[in-house]
Chain A
Amino acid sequence: MDETKPKPDYSWNLLAFYALILFTIGEFILGISATSNIAALMILFGLGKAYFIVTRYMNIGRLFSDEEEHA
């Protein structure tokens, strides 16, 4: 095999997870303490979490990439 193995890059894996946990804790605190309707704010929290999952974990960018490879 003349190809060298690429080095795994876990940096975004961990950063995205931290962001998800922060959003989830914030959402929970807000949810149990809120006295008024917070549906819109909760959906914003959800969109924030979805952004990290779709871009960093699902790698949606690969769909629009010209690269015909996995990485």
Chain B
Amino acid sequence: MSAQADSLAEYREKLINNRLGLWLFIISDAFVFGGLFIARFNLLGDSRPELNQTLGLVVTSILLLSSFFMNRAEIAIGAGDVKTFLRNTLVTMILGTIFLLGVVAVEWQIAPFGPADGVHGAIFYTMTGFHAFHVFTGIIFLWVVWRNGKKGLYTAERHWAVEACAVYWHFVDVVWVFFYPALYLIGSLVIG
């Protein structure tokens, strides 16, 4: 019992450093996205690429909804409710996949320009491509956490991997919160 208490105390001590490390990574990654965001305004100014605005709203809503379920998953495991945690993580994964397909398999296909068709194409595909890669890695991270959760590796006291996965997933959401208006809503439409 004493060894178990010592181990838990050690785990909690490590948690502070783990959080600091994760946030340092998040901030450094945010600089890359920030650079892309500034590049959009520098290169496109008051114009925007020809995109389907309704599709943009739909995929944005799906990503926000996925963050809602991810937060529920984290709250549930914090209360030791593994079943609710697993269910919500699975829903987050599904919604993340729908978002990814909405951007890569739909928006990229219907956009009337390619990555090499001028500055609008270059900035659009770079921003959405870089973001989509983060979503893809987030889905893999979610799958790993879900699988470990099924094996019973997380408890109310010990679930750092779930917390890290949730913070990463919400970060991907924060990035899209700025990318969505920058690409779909701000500026006058440029055809072609």
Instruction: Determine if chain A interacts with chain B.
Output: yes
B-side interface mostly: helix
Which one of A14, A32, A56 lies within 8 Å of B185 (CB-CB)?
A32
Segment touching A, from B8-16, B116-124, B127-135: B8-16
Nearest A-chain residue to B14, judged by Cβ: A68
Instruction: Give the number of chain B interface residues (Cβ < 8 Å).
Output: 46
- With A13-B68, A31-B185, A46-B181 known as contacts, the answer to whether A39 contacts B41 (CB < 8 A) is yes
A-side interface mostly: helix
User: Which residues B31-60 have CB closer than 8 A to chain A?
Assistant: 41, 46, 53, 57, 60
- With A28-B53, A31-B53 known as contacts, the answer to whether A17 contacts B178 (CB < 8 A) is no
Nearest B-chain residue to A46, judged by Cβ: B178
CB distance from B174 to the nearest CB of A (A): 5
A27 and B185 form a contact (CB under 8 A): yes
Is B90 an interface residue, CB under 8 A from the partner?
no
CB distance from A35 to the nearest CB of B (A): 9
Interface string of B140-178 (1 = CB under 8 A from A): 000000000000000011011001001100110110011
A-binding residues in B (CB < 8 A): 12-13, 15-16, 19-20, 23, 41, 46, 53, 57, 60-61, 64-65, 67-68, 70-72, 75-76, 78-81, 84, 156-157, 159-160, 163, 166-167, 170-171, 173-174, 177-178, 181-182, 184-187
B-binding residues in A (CB < 8 A): 3, 5-10, 13-14, 16-17, 20-21, 24, 27-28, 30-32, 37-39, 42-43, 45-46, 49-50, 53-54, 56-60, 62-63, 68-71
